[in-house]
Amino acid sequence: MAIGSALLTDHYELTMVQAALASGVAQRNAVFEVFARSLPPGRRYGVVAGLGRLVDLVEGFRFTPEDLDYLGRFLDAPTCEWLAGYRFTGRIDAYREGELYFTGSPVLTVEASFAEAVVLETLVLSVLNHDSAVASAAARMDVAAGDRTLIEMGGRRTDEWAAVHAARAAWIAGFDATSNLEAGRSYGIPTAGTVSHAFILAHDDEVAAFEAQVVGLGPTSTLLVDTYDTDDAISRAVDVAGTELGAIRIDSGDLLEATARARELLDELGATGTKIVLSGDLDEHALQRLAACPADAYGVGTSVVTGSGHPTAGFVYKLVAVDGRPVEKRSTGKATTGCRKHAVRVVRDGVAVAELLRPSPFSPAEGRALQVEVMAGGEVRHRPTLFEVRAHHLAARAELPPDALSLDDGPPALAAVLQ
């Protein structure tokens, strides 16, 4: 299956198009909004991620002859003909990638004909839900890590392409590097890596493994010291690499105790500049507990690529207006508020105090506009670099009040209030 195929969608998106073409609804002007009805329990904020990927996918969204041959099994000829000519010609406004969002924030607005817009639902949600879940978890980890280096190492814990996208989202939210080489090549993210236990075990003994690594990679590489006895391994590592040893990595045991002991041993052996890298099922809460230990860097895998227990942002894609008329769903627990919404963040003395929504645009004096024009007439109007996205995220996060950065359970830092 080709990556980016228009068939990476749900069956009912296209059967809806067929019925809408028959009824005439397909050509009505429609406005869809993406928002989250709630944040994960205890979370104070979310981070929008995936917009840059989504723009590229929408711009290139096409149904190939092979796609249409398959779809012809259950769609009629007029629908297949319409799909053959599909090009998105509408408008998309969205929160900048890296921006913070809260319950009800209209993070993305699609305005187009009903048929053009409804076809994109699954694509939009799959990208934004995955990448925003990763970025939201990664931001909390970055806060917990403080000024220590964070390396994303989750490639083997998720789908192979989800791993690439997760590395991108984690870097946006503050991680310093990734172990994923495709993410490095595709997005220019710095890459880093250490060594596996298999490398140590493949040699006759630990010293032979250390010697081989130092010969191959130099004394400033990172030696893995917890395959057998950590204390003994640290002494052997310094014997082999000298006091110029770049770093050691500890991947198991009581990391708080092991790090303190490792620092003590390294200093006694004269390797005062050798850094300590920790890994092993770390999440934001573990990083917070390790704040007092003398670690220099962390490698985080499973928790970051799976959203640290919340693998989706919970975004939904809902119709809010048709031909300029607000429409809303009144289902219990799943109600929507009709009308296209504009949003601003109110910041006073550098601190975000409110997020306001209303049907009409705000003036610059009323707050920082949160949505930007991303596509108009099907043409891309907003394509920042990944470095600009990362900088925007860090600036937006810096606006939060201090208690919003706490990992303790609490209410969202702001509420999106419709005026």
**Same-domain pairing of 391 and 300:** no
Percent of the chain with pLDDT over 70: 99
Q: Which one is predicted more confidently, 4 or 69?
A: 69
Give yes or no for residue 15 having a pLDDT over 60.
Answer: yes
Q: Is residue 64 part of a domain?
A: yes
**Same-domain pairing of 124 and 30:** yes
Q: Is residue 94 part of a domain?
A: yes
CA distances from 204 to 218, 219, 234, 242 (A): 20, 20, 18, 21
Nearest to 51 by CA among 385, 394, 300: 385
Locus of tokens 């006694």: 268
Boundary-marking domain end, from 261, 289, 305:
305
* Digit-coded pLDDT (tens) for 391-408: 999 999 999 999 999 999
pLDDT for 4 equals 56
Averaged pLDDT for residues 176-205: 97
pTM, to two decimals = 0.96
Q: Which residues contact 37 (CB under 8 A, 6 or more apart)?
A: 103, 104, 314, 316, 334
Longest pairwise C-alpha distance within the chain:
80
Structure tokens at 277: 């890298």
Secondary structure element (H or E) that encloses residue 110, with its range: strand 108-113
Please provide the average confidence, as pLDDT, over all residues in the chain. 96
Q: Is residue 1 part of a domain?
A: no
Give yes or no for residue 411 having a pLDDT over 90.
Answer: yes
Structure tokens at 63: 């149904």
Boundary-marking domain end, from 285, 305, 325:
305
If one counts the domains in the chain, the total is 2
Averaged pLDDT for residues 402-419: 93
**Same-domain pairing of 169 and 112:** no
Q: Is residue 396 part of a domain?
A: yes
**Same-domain pairing of 299 and 397:** no
**Same-domain pairing of 285 and 328:** no
Give yes or no for residue 413 having a pLDDT over 60.
Answer: yes
* Digit-coded pLDDT (tens) for 72-97: 999 999 999 999 999 999 999 999 99
- Give φ, ψ of 359 to 5 degrees: -65, -30
Q: Is residue 6 part of a domain?
A: no
Q: Is residue 2 part of a domain?
A: no
Q: Is residue 412 part of a domain?
A: yes
Q: Which one is predicted more confidently, 102 or 1?
A: 102
Q: Are 354 and 346 in contact (CB under 8 A)?
A: yes
Boundary-marking domain end, from 251, 286, 305:
305
**Same-domain pairing of 221 and 268:** yes
Q: Which residues contact 36 (CB under 8 A, 6 or more apart)?
A: 46, 101, 103, 104, 105, 107, 313, 314, 315, 316
**Same-domain pairing of 237 and 185:** yes
**Same-domain pairing of 263 and 188:** yes
**Same-domain pairing of 130 and 149:** no
**Same-domain pairing of 161 and 295:** yes
* Digit-coded pLDDT (tens) for 337-392: 889 999 999 999 999 999 999 999 999 999 999 999 999 999 999 999 999 999 99
Q: Are 95 and 48 in contact (CB under 8 A)?
A: yes
Q: Is residue 4 part of a domain?
A: no
Domain containing residue 369: CATH number: 3.20.140.10
pLDDT band at 329 (very low <50, low <70, confident <90, very high): confident
pLDDT for 85 equals 97
Give yes or no for residue 2 having a pLDDT over 50.
Answer: no
**Same-domain pairing of 203 and 129:** no
> Any idea which of 101-110, 326-335, 361-370, 402-411 has the lowest mean pLDDT?
326-335
Secondary structure element (H or E) that encloses residue 302, with its range: helix 302-305
pLDDT band at 1 (very low <50, low <70, confident <90, very high): very low
Domain containing residue 282: CATH number: 3.20.20.70
Residue numbers of the domain that contains 391: 11-134+310-418
* Digit-coded pLDDT (tens) for 209-262: 999 999 999 999 999 999 999 999 999 999 999 999 999 999 999 999 999 999
**Same-domain pairing of 103 and 145:** no
**What is the C-alpha separation between 7 and 123, in angstroms, rounded?**
10
